[in-house]
Structure 1
Amino acid sequence: MSGTLLWTLVLLPAVPGGVLALAGGDRGGRGPGRTAAVVAVAVAAATAVLALLAAVHRPRTTADFLPGGPLALAVDGLSAVVIVTVSAVGLLVLLFATADIGAGRPRFFGLMLLFLAAVLLTATATTLTGLLLAWEVMGATSYGLIAFHWRTDGPPAAGTVAFLTTRTGDIGLYLAAGAALAGGGTLALDALPALDGGWRDLAAAGVLAAALGKAAQLPFSFWLSRAMLGPSPVSALLHSAAMVAMGGYLLLRAHPLLSATGWAADVAAWAGALTALALGAVALAQRHLKQLLAASTAAQLGFVVLAAGVGALAGGTAHLVAHAAVKALLFLTAGVWLTTLGTQRMHALRGAARGDRSVGVPFAVGALALAGVPPLSLWATKDEILAGVERPALYGVALGAAVLSAGYAGKALGLLLRPPGRGPERPRGPRPAARLPLAVLALGAAGLGALALPALGGDRLKAVLDASGEPAAGAGTMTATAALAVAVTTGAVLLADRLPEPARARNWLGLEAAAHALVVRPVLAAAGALARFDDAVVDRAVAAAARAVRRLAGWTTRADGGVDGLVRGVATGTRRLGAAALRPQTGQLHQYYAQAIVLLTASVVLLLLLR
């Protein structure tokens, strides 16, 4: 029964998703499009119920797949929390999409269900075999979703950038699998810390690269900027509880491996802290709302990666869950305004949060939670993570990143709450189907931080995660960081128009240009050089060899003709000699006597001459 529950949890969204994705698209919301939307929401709701059952019963199952690498799934404390979060956010996003997506609904909802299935498989996989399978499907479907509006040039190019960038990091998982097998171990994730030293280090490096790529951490962060060309529901799921979050989840899962190496945990901690700080500065400099939210996603996942590095598993998990609600909420509200107002520019969205309270109030809740303002969710989770940081330098970087969180969230809130300038009357709010997800996510953004509070949910979450000995934020520290968050957020709201927007930060620190300079152009140049070498040397050598072979074949043919003539001559001579030898054979006795006399006479003459 437990195995059936797990396989059903993954296959339930995967099978209808594949059917819908292959069904194509329609031009409007009627007929097949409406059916696709209803099916997708029903499947997502059933998946959420199965996720709750799996979180309660903790099933596990194994199926033969590869020698030494079975397809094993299990639900433990960490994955129980994550699958419930993923399925709940996925349901709310798909419900919102029924009111937001018009054309191409079967293809859209099919890809979203496949995406959801891949994320659930990622969360429950206990071997690199299952993880790699899920990782590949997740990357492929993310390309299809980002490039959903494929008739224009921008989205397909953005999907390609996202796919290739994350694929670069994904190579690390294959290195980890190779190291696991070469080191004499199995492909089980919990067996990686027991590998021999060198192979363990290689496995840790591979897992780090794959996770940092998916989580959009430095230096891979820029692909998130391009991903903003996808539909808003795609951004909401991808940035909140799906692909980007899975990078942070993988490092939380792999914390024993990181700690066992003696260096990988420090690398993860610093990578997360520096990403949170650098991408926080990028978010502060943005002028477009979705770009600000994208940069803030990389920054907030930096706190999860930091938590994995320092061992604050409860704080990191709580931050992952709370951030899923906050970021899904903010992207969906941004999608409402993009649809109704046709712009992402924050200066053009002045007063948008005042136009419709069913959108404006949830946005304000999400922005304040993102800023870390108490008692909303990300305040407590950030404090729990900061409490696990022991090195002063690392703590300073992480605290600076938390301050920047308040800055960019306050900037967005300040601009969208300002009284609107003169202009056309603002359109009405979203459809009722879109308002319910916003309200539910707002409640989550407000209250999920209790998972990290020691007095409320923190100790219980640690017990669920089987984690112990983690530091908890003290009351004095939480009060200080809360006051700092409130002060910075207030200042950012008041000075939103005057906050610096340096071009370097606004362009995501030139990370994409650097990737082109350091990776893309050298690879293309090497490919061009190899192509020229192939044309100038290899092709010519092959052509010369072909000509030489043809000449040799001609010579061989002519020589073979001579041999054939010699053979024919020998055969002809032999036949003639045989015919001549047959002539004396007449069968007449008097002729044999005559021949004997001639032969005897010739012999006597020869003897006389030789004497």
Structure 2
Amino acid sequence: MSVLAWLLPGLPVVSGGLLALTGHRVDRAAPTTAVAVAAVTLALAVLAAITRPQSSTTLFAGLRAGPAVDGLSAVMVVTVSTAALAVLVFAAGQIREDRGRFSGLMLLFTGAMLVTVTATDLVLLLMAWEVMGAMSYALIGFRWRDDHRVRSAGIAFVTTRTGDMGLYLAAGCALASAWSLDMAGLAGSARPWRDLIAAGIVAAALGKSAQLPFSFWLSRAMAGPSPVSALLHSATMVAAGAYLLLRAQPLLAATGWAAPLVAWAGALTALLLGAVAVAQSDLKQLLAASTCAQVGFMVLAAGVSSVAGGTAHLVAHAAVKSLLFLCAGAWLTALGTKDLTELHGAARRHRLVGITFAIGALALAGLPPLSLWVTKGSVLSAVAERSPPLYLVSLAAALLAAAYAARAVFAVWRPMDAGTRDGSEQPGTHRVDLLERLPLPVLALVAAAFGAVGPPAVFDAWRRLLGAPSEPGPGGGELLLSGALAIVVVLAVRDRALPAPRVLGEWLYLERAAVAVVWRPLTALARSLARFDDRVVDGAVRSVPRAGMAAARLAKRWGEAGADGAVRAVASGVAGLAALARRPQTGQVHTYFAQAAVGLVLLAVVIALVR
């Protein structure tokens, strides 16, 4: 079954690559092809979850790498494949342009996430991590003719890349420590390498999952099409950081400092981004901020060693958030707006979308007996055993979740204003396509039914599946308290205008802070270095040929003239000697005899003198 370990991510990667490269030529067949590939991928994921395949090969210098499916990976491959199939079915009815490129990029994105959740080493993880980031850039900026979308894609890409550098640090330190990239052995690394590895993984995970201070990139990601938002926010890229922290939980615990840091980062993100979500008037921005907040609970779970609870929350949130984004996308297509004040009555006009949206939003609020009530309760139970201050922050974040979810539900179900009913202010009334409606009931069913993981016997089986049998489950007292408070908050929010300070509406000015503190100093430094390079380095380089030319001119002026004079003098001397040598050549025989006699006399005199 080792072939299955490669085939599972390989099928969407190869198929997606072919569709993306073929482009417009397969626009008509691309949606059907993508849905078929996603369906086969889901079947392979289920088979892999049952059979648990694994494979390994030598990459370089004796280092082994390869995919494997264990308990955590089994849950993730099924979750990712299910979300991808639902989103691609929806996209088949909504995306009308560049279908070949869109379908290909979505499949590549899905394949990269499948590699991420099955990788057993940092090399394979890094490869998938990079592809996922590149595909997110391409998908957010899918409508590339719009400068705003392209800029948003660039900001999201650069921000996540900043955190991604941590993964390179982790891989380098793992090699330096034990010449091994196996993720299972990272917790056993020697200090200080273990701390550096943990720091790199934490930075990469927080960046990818849009946790503080990286959260603002997720707001920019809303520039992409709604199916992209649904897949990116549910079970793929944003969830990848949380998955990595859950996978690396033994490493976090071994350092002594990383686990508390991660727990507080998740709790504060859940609290502050929950407040940001409450303040949003744009439905997609509300859902984006809520994603940061809900992923914060998964990060919190990794920090308090609640792998089973965090994974359950990840799966339930994947169903809920993909459902909510698909509903928002359906309304955006049908009504031409995503503003909450303009969506009054949207749920009444599109009943199926409205009902399924309500189920997902109430699950997001943590209302019993829906899924996130149980999964969030299991995380809060683990937090309560670790730190009372951390628990209070987390409970406040859970109540904010009820507030922003209730605000969204009541906005879309509130009756239309009189002007809208009369038609004077009525937005477009396009129908919601059948393919857009098709995945909504399935996702709503999962969002509601996953709460069945709560009973002790079921949760015990869940913990054994994930290899965490000793973790605490959702406590009855905790579930009763959080459920009751969520109901109170939902009822209190119903007809109230919640305060929305500008700092919350602007996502805590995180992007402005990043631009002021990081981007502008770096670009100023880059400009200074560019001027230094142009004026000093390039000047020094240009001075070398100038000096060479000057030396050549000097050599031409002095050296060449002297050498030519010497040559001419030698030539003149030789010419003079030749003229003298021609004089005895008279052509008369007696002259030659006289010359020979004189020569013999001179020779005799020389011999006599020498002797």
Distance 2:45 2:579 in 1: 100
1:408 paired residue among 404, 408, 422: 404
Match of 2:136 among 135, 142, 145: 142
Please list, as runs of the form range in 1=range in 2, the aligned pairs for 1:475-554 lying within 5 A after superposition: 475-495=476-496, 498-554=497-553
Deviation track 1:459-516 (CA, whole Å, cap 9, x = no partner) reads: 1111011113212232122111110111111212232xx1111111010000000000
Equivalent residue for 1:392? 388
Whichever residue aligns with residue 396 of structure 1, its letter is L
The change in CA–CA distance for 1:180 and 1:555 in structure 2 (over 3 A counts) is same
For residues 29-178 of structure 1, what are the structure 2 equivalents within 5 Å? 32-178=26-172
Q: Is this contact kept in 1: 2:216–2:507, CA < 8 A?
A: yes
> What's 1:289 paired with?
283
C-alpha contact (below 8 Å) 2:294/2:317 kept by paired residues: yes
Q: Deviations over 1:236-278 (max 9, x none)?
A: 0000001001110011111111111111111111111110011
> How far did residue 571 of structure 1 move?
7.0
**Is the CA contact 2:335–2:430 (under 8 Å) kept in the aligned structure 1?**
no
Q: Is the 8 A contact 2:230 2:321 kept in 1?
A: yes
* Alpha-carbon spacing, 1:571–1:200, altered in 2? closer, same or farther (3 Å): farther
Q: Which residue of 2 aligns with 1:317?
A: 311
- Verify the 8 A CA contact 2:209 2:242 in the aligned structure 1: yes
CA–CA distance in 2 between the matches of 1:567 and 1:316?
93
Whether the aligned pair in 2 keeps the contact of 1:356 and 1:428 (CA below 8 Å) is no
Partner residue, 1:29? none
Q: What is the TM-score normalised by the length of structure 2?
A: 0.93
CA contact (8 A) 2:105 2:135 kept: yes
Match of 1:563 in 2: 563
RMSD of aligned alpha carbons? 2.4
Shift of 1:377: 0.4
- Report if the CA contact (8 A) 1:284-1:404 is conserved: yes
For structure 1, which runs of at least 5 residues remain unmatched after alignment? 27-31, 607-611
Counterparts in 2 of 1:563 and 1:343: CA distance versus 1, 3 Å:
same
Counterparts of 1:572 and 1:398, CA distance in 2: 105
Q: Secondary structure of the equivalent of 1:23?
A: helix
Alignment partner of 1:359 is 2:360: no
Pair 1:578–1:315, CA change in 2 (3 A): farther
**Aligned position for 1:418:** 414
Give the Cα separation in 1 of the matches to 2:171 and 2:97. 41
Corresponding letter in the other structure for 1:594: V
The 1:217–1:563 alpha-carbon spacing in structure 2 relative to 1, beyond 3 Å, is: same
Q: Does residue 235 of structure 2 align to residue 234 of structure 1?
A: no
The SS at the match of 1:212 is: helix
Partner of 2:464: 463
- SS of 2:57's equivalent in the other structure is strand
Matches of residues 579-598 of structure 1 in structure 2 within 5 Å?
591-598=595-602
Q: Name which of structure 1's ranges 210-219 and 180-189 shifts more when overlaid on structure 2.
A: 180-189
Contact residue 224 and residue 294 of structure 1 kept, 8 A: yes
Residues 482 and 137 (structure 1 numbering): CA distance in 2 closer, same or farther, change over 3 Å? same
Shift of 1:192: 1.6
Q: Match for 1:494: what amino acid?
A: D
User: CA separation of 1:68/1:132 partners in 2, compared to 1, >3 Å: closer, same or farther?
Assistant: farther
- Equivalent residues of 1:140, 1:163 under 8 A apart: yes
User: Aligned in 2, Cα 1:455/1:603: closer, same or farther, shift over 3 Å?
Assistant: closer
Question: Which range moved further: 537-546 or 94-103?
Answer: 537-546
Q: Deviations over 1:117-150 (max 9, x none)?
A: 1010111111111111101110111111101111
Distance change >3 Å, CA 600–CA 535, structure 1 → 2: same
Letter in 2 for 1:10: P
CA distance in 2, matches of 1:399, 1:461: 24
Deviation, structure 1 residue 591: 4.5
Look up the SS of the partner of 2:67 in the other structure.
strand
Structure 1 pair 554–332 and aligned structure 2 pair: CA distance change class (3 A) = same
Residue by residue, what CA displacement relative to the aligned partner does 1:296-339 show, whole Å, maximum 9, x if unpaired? 00000000001111100000000000000000000000001101
2:281 alignment partner, SS class = coil
Partners of 1:584 and 1:82 in 2: how far apart? 112
- For residues 408-455 of structure 1, the C-alpha deviation after alignment (integer angstroms, 9 at most, x for no partner) is 00111111111111213673652222222000000011011333x242
Distance in 2 separating the partners of 1:449 and 1:374? 8
Normalising by the residue count of structure 1, what TM-score does the alignment of the two structures yield?
Answer: 0.93
SS of 2:438 mapped into structure 1: helix
Equivalent residues in 2 for 1:598-609 (5 A)? Answer: 598=602
Matched residue type, 1:446: A
The 2-side partners of 1:200 and 1:68 are apart by 22
Residue 438 of structure 2 is matched in structure 1 by 436
SS of 1:126's equivalent in the other structure is: coil
CA distance in 2, matches of 1:571, 1:193: 87
- Cα distance change of structure 1 residues 575 and 330 upon mapping to structure 2, 3 Å threshold: same
What do the CA deviations read for 1:496-554 (whole angstroms, capped 9, x no partner)?
xx111111101000000000001110011111111222233223333333321210122
1:475 maps to a residue whose letter is G
- The alignment of Structure 1 onto Structure 2 pairs a total of residues equal to 597
> SS of the residue aligned with 2:367?
coil
Match of 1:221 in 2: 215
Task: Give the conservation status (yes or no) of the 8 Å contact 1:333–1:363.
Answer: yes
Moved more, 549-558 or 359-368: 549-558
* 2:452 alignment counterpart: 450
CA deviation profile, 1:137-182 (whole Å, cap 9, x unmatched): 1011111110111111111111101110000111111111111111
Structure 2 letter corresponding to 1:462? R
Q: SS where residue 60 of structure 1 aligns?
A: coil
Closer, same or farther: CA 188–565 of 1 in aligned 2, 3 Å: farther
Amino acid at match of 1:376: L
Check whether the contact 1:358–1:429 (CA below 8 A) recurs between aligned residues: no
The answer on whether the counterparts of 2:266 and 2:296 sit within 8 Å (CA) in structure 1 is: yes
Contact 1:48 1:88 in 2 (8 A): yes
Secondary structure, aligned partner of 1:65: strand
Q: Distance in 1 between matches of 2:197 and 2:514?
A: 24
Q: Cα distance, 1:592 vs. partner?
A: 4.5
Give the conservation status (yes or no) of the 8 Å contact 2:278–2:404: yes
- For the Cα contact (< 8 Å) 2:456–2:473, is it kept in 1? no
Report the CA distance between 1:584 and its aligned residue. Answer: 9.4
Mapped to 2, the partners of 1:82 and 1:338 lie a distance apart of 30
**Is the 8 Å Cα contact of residues 375 and 474 (structure 2) preserved in structure 1?**
no
Mapped partners of 1:25, 1:482: distance in 2: 50
Q: Is the 8 A contact 1:20 1:109 kept in 2?
A: yes
By how many angstroms is 1:65 displaced?
Answer: 2.6
The 3-state SS of whatever aligns with 1:73 is coil
Query: Is it true that 1:340 corresponds to 2:342 in the alignment?
Result: no
Q: How much identity, in percent, do the aligned residues show?
A: 55
For residue 59 of structure 2, give the secondary structure of its aligned residue in structure 1.
strand
Q: 2:333–2:430: 8 Å Cα contact kept in structure 1?
A: no
**2:60, 2:360 → 1: CA distance?**
45
